[in-house]
Structure 1
Amino acid sequence: MANVSFWLLLAFMYLTLPWKYNGAKGKLSENGCKLFHRLADCSHLQLLSVPQNLPTDIQELLLDFNQIKILHKNSFLRYHDLTSLSVQSNRMEFVEPGAFNGIRRLEVLSLQNNTINRKYELTSAALRFTPSLKKLDLSRNALTMDMVPVLLQDMTSLENLLLDNNIIMRLEQTAFEGLVHLKELSLRWNYIYEIEGGTFEGLVKLKKLDLAYNLLPCIGDYRLTQIQMLNLSFNNLEWFESRETDAEFHLEMLDISNNQLLFFPLLPRQHRLHTLLLSNNKMRFYSDIFGTNSSADFLIIENNITSVTTVGLWSDDIHSNLSTLHYLDMSHNQFAYFPLGFFSNLSSLSYLKLNWNCLQKFGVSPSDISSLLDELDLSNNELVELQADNISPGILSLCYFNLSSNDLHTLPRNIFTSMTRIHTIDLSNNPLHLCSQSELTMGEGECVDIRNVSSLRRLYLSGCGMELNLHRVFYGNTLTHLDLSYNSIKGFIFLDDTARTLQSLFLRSCLEFNITVDFSVFMSLTVLDISGNSLTTFPASLTGLALHYLDLRNNNLIYLPLYNTQRLLGNLKTVYISNNPFDCCELGWMNVLISSISIPDLQKVMCKFSSRYLPVRNLPESINQSCQWTNKGTWLYLLLTLPVCLTLLVALLLLFLTFKHTLLKTVKRRCRRSTSY
């Protein structure tokens, strides 16, 4: 019966394994191509030409990373159902006219990373016989502006065109002429410094335009009403101005980050903008420096009509309609202030990033910011005051509030209780301390009240220079994530109100030297960081926790007592232990860790032997032998010294017996000698 079961099992494996291989990895053709369902992957096979022994019904063919220099005439004639073809990275010089004969339904073609610039006229002639082509990738082919119109001639069916990483320097009005169905155009990583007027206006269906990583100096008359997504990041733009018109723009997302903008962009009057990215520029408002009376006259000549427009040079007025904005990023700029009512006009704003600016004051009252704002980042500014007038419980809808790395000593007393949806607060690197009950009662001193914020789950207080001891500063909170690193902690009584709910606790460089720490009350803790604390003994209370992550780096631990810690080892997944002076002769616990737990810094773990530090990972065998000899303990030393002591004792006894009579006579003679007076 057992033999029958064995042969049945072998038969089952024989029948299922080939099916599993064919379904998951695909079949292999004679020349090594992987065949899936109507897809042939012939990449990385050093092919010199298109293989002709593939199934005729394939719809997708990948020929990437081969050595095909020319796509010859009728290369795909037998693959009449082909809809997608990729010939990337082949150093291909050109495509012969007629190469695409027989595949009238080809929709996707990628010629990326080749050299079709050498004979681009021939490739252009071949592309004209792809009447159904919708997506074309000509990136990384060293194409210039003169080549682009030739290659794209009569390709009216195109909907998606990629020309990234070429050497296009300027765009002429006729560059994309005839591409009436084009919806997406990417020109990233070129050298474009000038765009001729009308270049994109004929592309009436164009929705997405990507001009990132070019050399554009300015956008002085933006008039593309059809565009929905425009990426101008990583250029040299100093200003962005749209047309003074009442035409409706379909713009939804605008990215002008990482440029040289000096002023807030002048957006269209009517648009659908929900995302505006302006980070990493040089923007600020200037009326506090130059006043508001300076103006300049601009002479505008258009269609033989001359007009003069007077513009206030340093005015803080924003004429753009920002009421539709949902996400606004103005981080990494030079804003020292914002005009009165600037953010109150952003009535739909949910996400606002103002970090890394020069702000010293900011208002978070309902009159200052939108009542719909969910996330506000004011980190890395110069804030000394946060203004909040007329606030009441529930009036602010913030969920995420970042005030880290400022100069805040205090905050409005009821600021956080007015945020009934707040779940994350970051107050790290501010010179503040938390209010105790006595301070709240007596109204003494400058402090921050973080008590009774019932929705709060994640709190960051790293590097605030606080002394935390007996005061119950987290009363009424249910925290799950708390960072108290780089403060001074003398005990855990102040955490009693939230200890049982904490899941992640960070205590880097904040425990007093060799303090006795009891972690047993943190029953929900899964992440603990106690690195940089000069601990000499492993906290015994950790053995009863179900930790998943533990960081013990930069302490003074000699060994880890992990022999009878089944619960800790059963749950622990990652532990960091480097920069500790472990004893090379006490590494038995290391084998326990290595066998079942991830130690990302294992290569950096060292141990100490005779004033030397050695890598634990490749500890010399001689050290292990020395440790084995040393670890025999007291009985070994006793066993070694006992024969020596017995030998010395016997020698002394023999010596005494040998000279016994002579010594006695000498002593008696000296004792009987008379003494002179």
Structure 2
Amino acid sequence: MKKPLLLLTALGLMLLSVRICSLADLCPPCECPDSNPKIMWCIGKKLKTVPENFPSDIQELFLQHNNISTILPTDFLSYSSGQHNVTPSVKAPWRHLLTLDLSHNHLTSIPTEALAALTQMNKLYLNGNQIASMSSDCLRSLTSLKELHLSSNRLQSLNPGAFTGLSSLQTLTLSLNQITTITTGVLNELDQLNLLQLNANLISVIQPGSLKGLKNLKQLYLRNNNIHFLTKGSLDGLGQLEVLSLSNNNICSVPEEALENLKALKDLYLNNNHITFLPGRFLPKFEKLVILDISNNEITNVPEDAFLGLTKLKRLDLSFNNLTTLPPTAFHELENLTVLNLYNNHIDSMPGLVLDGLTSLKELHLDNNRISHLPPEIFQKQFELKELQLDNNFLSSLPEAIFNNLINLKTLYLDNNQLESIPVTTFQSLGHLRELQLEQNNVTSLPESIFDGLTDLRILQLNHNHLSVLPHNVFEHLANLKELQLSNNFFSAFPLGIFKNLKKLKELHLDSNWFYTIEPTLFHDLQKLEELQLQFNHLLYLPPGVFFNLQKLKKLQLHNNHLSTVPPEIFAKQQNLQELHLDRNDISSLPVTVFQNLARLSLLHLNFNRLTNLSDGVLDSLVKLKQIHLYSNPWDCRCPSILYLSRWLRKNPNIVQGEVECPSDRSPVASEKNFASMPSRCSSATNPSSSHLQTLFSICCLLFLTIAFH
């Protein structure tokens, strides 16, 4: 009785291993996600062939980024896992496979025989291989295929019959090949095609009638080719086309005859060509046009009737051309336009009513032109405008009420002009403004109430001007300000309480000014401040409590000043500080407690100072330190006072940046030191009297300068 039972058990185990083994058992070297047992990932496994013994009910197979160069006719046959009438020794075709990704392998031809049985497949990825040609009928059996990806191969031509049988195909990508011509008949059978990508080939000719069979095509991309012109009939049959990209070619004029029957066109890209003029009354034929991009061409003028009737147009890009003027009525019928790009031209003036028809405009880019003045009425009907860029022009003044109607404006760029003064009411109506850029001008003074209406302002940039004083209440109404840039001006002091209402400020840039010291309470109201830049000033001394209220500070830059020391408790409240820059000063000593509360500091710059040693334990609190810069100091390696630094450097070699050397012999400070004999000057670890004298000298200089300035 035992023998038959054992035999039955063995037979059962054999059948179990053949008929109902788990998918995971069949996966190696691939991966089978538990969430979807019909998918197999064999990505980047260095496979040279398709793995064997996949179950035939797999629906998605991903074999991309391998080294497969050949697909055998039997590669997509396997033992049936679900049909009881098929014996285990017979392989069945993968009739359930819907997606096959063979991209980025080494295939040189279409594996016609291997694919023949995959009649239900609807997505095939062969991009990123080395396929040089497609024979006739090579995909004939794939009648259910909807997506075919052949980009990034070596195809030089498309032979007639290459796409025969693909009656369901909707997407065909052929970009990044070496195709030179689209010949008649090759695409005629693809009457369900919606998307055709032919970008980045060598196409110079599209034969008339070659796209005629694509009656349902909606998107055609031909950018980055070598097309000089399109002849009449080359785009015939594309009555449903909505998107046409001809950008980055060598087209010298708008191809009127080729485009004239594309009445369904919504997006037209002619950018990055060599078009020199726009034909009058041609573009208005495309009544459904939503996007028109003619940027990066050589257009010198715009006819008055170039855009008449394009009432559905939402985006017009004329940037990077050679425009010098605009007709007053050029945009009058573009009532739905939301974005107008005119930047990087040579426009020197704007007609007063040129924008009158643009009542839906949300973005206007006039930057990088030569505009020297603006008519007062230019923006009178742009109530919906949210972004206005006028930077990098030659504006020397602004009409007083020029922005009064821009009640929804959020971003205003006026930087890199020649503004010397700004009328007091210029910004009074901009209650929704979030960002105001006024840097790189010649502004010498600001009216006290200049920013009073900007209650929602987040960013204010006034750097690189000629400001030396500010009114006491100039920032009084900027309660939501988060970033204030005042660098590269001529400030040496501020009125007391100037920052008192900036409770939400996170960044303050005061670098590259003329500060010799900082008033002790200057920053007391900036309790949310995270970044403070004071570098490139003339600071001689820091009051002990100057940073006391800056408990959220993460980055402090004090480099390139004239500090000779820092008070022991100067950083006592900076528990959140992560970056501290004290380099390029005249610091000769550091109090032992100066860094004791900086437990989160990750970056410390002390390079290019006058440090000869460090007090014992001064760096011990910096437990999160990842980088420290100590080089270019006159470290005194002949005195025992160097021992603490030497030991610390040996203990923390991975965070030390640069070479920390003894100036006397250029040996590493970290090397072992022998102090059998010591110079007499080494009687104490530090020289307090010298340090105190330097501090006293700095304070005297400061007092002298203060008296001189007043």
Does the pair score TM above 0.5?
yes
1:267 is the counterpart of 2:271: no
Q: Give 1 or 2: higher strand fraction.
A: 1
Q: 1:581–1:514: structure 2 CA closer, same or farther, 3 Å change rule?
A: farther
* 1:584-643 residue CA offsets vs partner (Å, 9 max, x unmatched): 7339666655x42666xx6x773413599x96456468414689979x99996169xxxx
Which residues in structure 2 correspond to 1:323-338 (within 5 Å)? Answer: 323-338=335-350
Whether contact under 8 Å (2:421, 2:446) holds in the other structure is no
Structure 1 residue 268: Cα displacement? 3.6
**Aligned mates of 1:220, 1:561 — CA distance in 2:** 79
* 1:181-237 residue CA offsets vs partner (Å, 9 max, x unmatched): 222222222223343445556433333333332233457988866343443443334
1:35 is the counterpart of 2:36: no
Q: 1:214–1:245: structure 2 CA closer, same or farther, 3 Å change rule?
A: closer
* 1:62-114 residue CA offsets vs partner (Å, 9 max, x unmatched): 22222211222242233432222211222211133221243222222111121
**Aligned mates of 1:251, 1:598 — CA distance in 2:** 57
2:190 is matched with: 179
2:614 is matched with: 586
1:84 is the counterpart of 2:99: yes
1:120 is matched with: 134
Whether contact under 8 Å (2:630, 2:660) holds in the other structure is no
1:22 is matched with: none
Question: In the alignment, which of 524, 540, 546 is matched to residue 528 of structure 2?
Answer: 524
2:696 is matched with: none
Which residues in structure 2 correspond to 1:537-576 (within 5 Å)? Answer: 540=544, 541-542=546-547, 544-545=549-550, 546-552=552-558, 554-555=560-561, 565=571, 567-570=573-576, 572=578
Q: Secondary structure at the match of 1:93?
A: coil
Relative to structure 2, which stretch is displaced further, 495-504 or 267-276?
Answer: 267-276
Q: Secondary structure at the match of 2:113?
A: coil
1:455 is matched with: 456
Q: 1:551–1:379: structure 2 CA closer, same or farther, 3 Å change rule?
A: same
* 1:98-150 residue CA offsets vs partner (Å, 9 max, x unmatched): 21243222222111121211x521xx534222122222111111212x32654
Whether contact under 8 Å (2:137, 2:165) holds in the other structure is no
Identical positions, percent: 25
2:683 is matched with: 637
**Aligned mates of 2:295, 2:197 — CA distance in 1:** 21
TM-score, length basis structure 1: 0.72
1:142 is the counterpart of 2:169: no
1:505 is matched with: 508
Q: 1:609–1:204: structure 2 CA closer, same or farther, 3 Å change rule?
A: farther
Letter in 2 for 1:512: F
**Aligned mates of 1:638, 1:318 — CA distance in 2:** 82
Question: In the alignment, which of 479, 482, 505 is matched to residue 480 of structure 1?
Answer: 482
Structure 1 residue 558: Cα displacement? 7.4
Whether contact under 8 Å (1:236, 1:260) holds in the other structure is yes
Structure 1 residue 571: Cα displacement? 5.8
Question: In the alignment, which of 362, 382, 385 is matched to residue 394 of structure 2?
Answer: 382
**Aligned mates of 1:611, 1:225 — CA distance in 2:** 84
2:108 is matched with: 93
* 1:316-351 residue CA offsets vs partner (Å, 9 max, x unmatched): 464895333222333223333445543222332211
Which residues in structure 2 correspond to 1:241-252 (within 5 Å)? Answer: 249-252=263-266
Gaps of 5+ in 2: 1-22, 79-93, 305-324, 579-599, 638-648, 650-655, 662-666, 686-710
Q: Secondary structure at the match of 1:99?
A: helix
Structure 1 residue 458: Cα displacement? 1.3
1:107 is the counterpart of 2:122: yes
* 1:477-527 residue CA offsets vs partner (Å, 9 max, x unmatched): 222211112112222437335432312222232242455564332111123
**Aligned mates of 2:535, 2:164 — CA distance in 1:** 64
1:213 is the counterpart of 2:217: no
Whether contact under 8 Å (1:359, 1:382) holds in the other structure is yes
Whether contact under 8 Å (1:355, 1:378) holds in the other structure is yes
Letter in 2 for 1:423: R
Q: 1:103–1:488: structure 2 CA closer, same or farther, 3 Å change rule?
A: same
Whether contact under 8 Å (2:535, 2:559) holds in the other structure is yes
Question: In the alignment, which of 374, 377, 380 is matched to residue 362 of structure 1?
Answer: 374
1:231 is the counterpart of 2:240: no
Backbone CA RMSD of aligned residues: 4.2
**Aligned mates of 1:225, 1:510 — CA distance in 2:** 64
Whether contact under 8 Å (1:457, 1:481) holds in the other structure is yes
Q: 1:128–1:529: structure 2 CA closer, same or farther, 3 Å change rule?
A: farther
Q: 1:419–1:633: structure 2 CA closer, same or farther, 3 Å change rule?
A: farther
Which residues in structure 2 correspond to 1:290-439 (within 5 Å)? Answer: 316=327, 318=330, 322-338=334-350, 341-363=353-375, 365=377, 370-387=382-399, 392=404, 396-437=407-448
Whether contact under 8 Å (2:27, 2:40) holds in the other structure is no
Q: Secondary structure at the match of 1:109?
A: strand
Q: Secondary structure at the match of 2:412?
A: strand
2:314 is matched with: none
**Aligned mates of 1:340, 1:225 — CA distance in 2:** 40
Structure 1 residue 176: Cα displacement? 2.8
Letter in 1 for 2:119: R
Q: 1:235–1:156: structure 2 CA closer, same or farther, 3 Å change rule?
A: same
Relative to structure 2, which stretch is displaced further, 488-497 or 457-466?
Answer: 488-497
Structure 1 residue 398: Cα displacement? 1.3
Structure 1 residue 425: Cα displacement? 1.0
Q: 1:72–1:391: structure 2 CA closer, same or farther, 3 Å change rule?
A: closer
Relative to structure 2, which stretch is displaced further, 99-108 or 458-467?
Answer: 99-108
Q: Secondary structure at the match of 1:488?
A: coil
Letter in 2 for 1:454: T
Aligned length: 569
Q: Secondary structure at the match of 2:430?
A: coil
Q: Secondary structure at the match of 2:436?
A: strand
**Aligned mates of 1:239, 1:158 — CA distance in 2:** 34
Letter in 2 for 1:34: E
1:533 is the counterpart of 2:537: yes
Letter in 2 for 1:322: L
Relative to structure 2, which stretch is displaced further, 62-71 or 338-347?
Answer: 338-347
Whether contact under 8 Å (1:360, 1:382) holds in the other structure is yes
1:645 is matched with: none
Structure 1 residue 396: Cα displacement? 3.5
- Rg comparison, structure with higher value: 1
Relative to structure 2, which stretch is displaced further, 422-431 or 94-103?
Answer: 94-103
Structure 1 residue 286: Cα displacement? 7.7
Structure 1 residue 372: Cα displacement? 1.4
Q: Give 1 or 2: higher helix fraction.
A: 1
Gaps of 5+ in 1: 1-25, 293-313, 441-448, 640-677
**Aligned mates of 2:458, 2:436 — CA distance in 1:** 9
**Aligned mates of 2:261, 2:332 — CA distance in 1:** 14
Relative to structure 2, which stretch is displaced further, 61-70 or 486-495?
Answer: 486-495
**Aligned mates of 1:83, 1:132 — CA distance in 2:** 9
Q: Secondary structure at the match of 2:276?
A: coil
1:673 is matched with: none
Structure 1 residue 51: Cα displacement? 0.9
Letter in 2 for 1:529: Q
2:254 is matched with: 240
**Aligned mates of 1:596, 1:513 — CA distance in 2:** 32
Structure 1 residue 463: Cα displacement? 0.9
* 1:39-67 residue CA offsets vs partner (Å, 9 max, x unmatched): 22222223222112334433222222222
Q: 1:241–1:610: structure 2 CA closer, same or farther, 3 Å change rule?
A: same
1:623 is matched with: 669
Q: 1:436–1:64: structure 2 CA closer, same or farther, 3 Å change rule?
A: same
TM-score, length basis structure 2: 0.69
Whether contact under 8 Å (1:140, 1:165) holds in the other structure is yes
Letter in 2 for 1:417: Q
